[in-house]
Structures are given as structure tokens and as C-alpha cells.
Amino acid sequence: MIPHYSLLSNLVYAANGSEVTDVIINGKIVMQDRRMATIDEDKLIDSLVK
């Protein structure tokens, strides 16, 4: 016998943050290939280092 679980729930709860490569919120890409699409990361890091 095989337990009947929700496939979607299994995918969500078995994954961790390192497996996320892209994030879309309300149709807008905010992270693509693990890089923030809405923020200039290099510029942000430079401003924090100063």
C-alpha cells in the first residue's frame, strides 16, 4: 500500500532554500538564476562596505 499524500505538499515541504533558483511574485520576476532582478547587488554590497 502507498500512502496518499499531496504531491505539491511533498515538493514544498521536502525542498529547502538552496533549491530555489527563480522567484516570481504577482507576475514580476524578483529573483532569476539566484540573483536579485530588482536590486543591483554589486551596488548594494559596495554601499554596505563603505
Does the pLDDT value for residue 2 go beyond 70?
Answer: no
Q: What is the pLDDT of residue 24?
A: 97
Q: How many domains does the chain have?
A: 1
Domain with 29, as residue range(s), is: 7-49
What pLDDT does residue 3 have? 65
Closest Cα to residue 20, out of 8, 34, 37, 35? Answer: 34
Distance CA 11, CA 19 (A): 11
Is the residue at 2 inside a domain? no
Q: What is the pLDDT of residues 4-46, one digit of tens each?
A: 678 888 888 888 888 899 999 999 999 999 999 999 988 999 9
Please determine, for residue 1, whether its predicted confidence score (pLDDT) is greater than 60. no
**CA–CA gap between residue 39 and residue 31 (Å, rounded):** 9
Given a contact cutoff of 8 angstroms between Cβ atoms, the answer to whether 31 and 23 are in contact is yes
Q: Is 1 contained in some domain?
A: no
The pLDDT score that the predictor gives to residue 50 is 77
